Amino acid sequence: MPRMFGTDGVRGLANRDLTAQLALHLGDAAVRVLGESKDATHAEGRRRALVGRDTRVSGDFLASALSAGMSAGGFDVIDAGIIPTPGVAFLTSVLNVEMGAVISASHNAMPDNGIKFFARGGFKLPDSKEDEIEQVLGQDWDRPTGAGVGRISHDTTTATNLYIDHLVSAIAPIGRDKIQPKPLAGLKVVADCANGATSVVAPEALRRAGAEVVVINASPDGYNINKNAGSTHPEQLQAMVKASDAQMGVAFDGDADRCLAVDEDGNMVNGDQIMGILARAKMREGKLKDNTLVITIMSNLGLKIALKNMGIKTVETNVGDRYVLEAMLRDGYSLGGEQSGHVINREFATTGDGTLTALTLCNEVVRSGKSLKELAADFPQLPQQLVNVPNVDKNGVKSNAAIAEAVRREEELLGDTGRVLLRPSGTEPLVRVMAEAQTQQEADDVCNRLAQVVKDELSL
Name which residue leads in pLDDT, 284 or 176: 284
Distance separating alpha carbons of residues 350 and 137, to the nearest angstrom: 27
Average pLDDT, the chain: 94
Distance separating alpha carbons of residues 445 and 120, to the nearest angstrom: 47
Residue 17 has a pLDDT of: 96
Q: What is residue 391's DSSP assignment?
A: S
Task: Summarize the confidence of residues 391-412 as an average pLDDT.
Answer: 95
Residue 40 has a pLDDT of: 39
Please tell me the total number of residues recorded for the chain in this structure: 460
Residue 43 has a pLDDT of: 45
Give yes or no for residue 291 having a pLDDT over 80: yes
Give yes or no for residue 151 having a pLDDT over 70: yes
**368-396 confidence digits (pLDDT tens):** 999 999 999 999 999 999 999 999 999 99
- DSSP lists the bridge partners of residue 79 as 51, 154
Quickly count: other Cβ atoms within 10 Å of residue 442's Cβ.
18
> What pTM did the predictor assign?
0.90
**217-245 confidence digits (pLDDT tens):** 999 999 999 999 999 999 999 999 999 99
3 state DSSP class of 294: strand
Q: ∠ CA(294), CA(300), CA(304), 5° rounding?
A: 55
3 state DSSP class of 385: strand
Residue 209 has a pLDDT of: 98
Give yes or no for residue 39 having a pLDDT over 90: no
Q: 341 and 231 in contact (C-beta within 8 Å)?
A: yes
Residue 44 has a pLDDT of: 58
- CA count, 13 A, side-chain hemisphere, 448: 6
Residue 37 has a pLDDT of: 53
Helix (H) and strand (E) counts in the chain: 14, 19
Distance separating alpha carbons of residues 255 and 409, to the nearest angstrom: 40
Q: 91 and 108 in contact (C-beta within 8 Å)?
A: no
Confidence of residue 158 (pLDDT cuts 50, 70, 90): very high
**60-76 confidence digits (pLDDT tens):** 999 999 999 999 999 99
Q: Which residues are catalytic?
A: 106
**302-314 confidence digits (pLDDT tens):** 999 899 999 999 9
Distance of CA 119 to the CA centre of its chain: 17
Give yes or no for residue 42 having a pLDDT over 70: no
Confidence of residue 205 (pLDDT cuts 50, 70, 90): very high
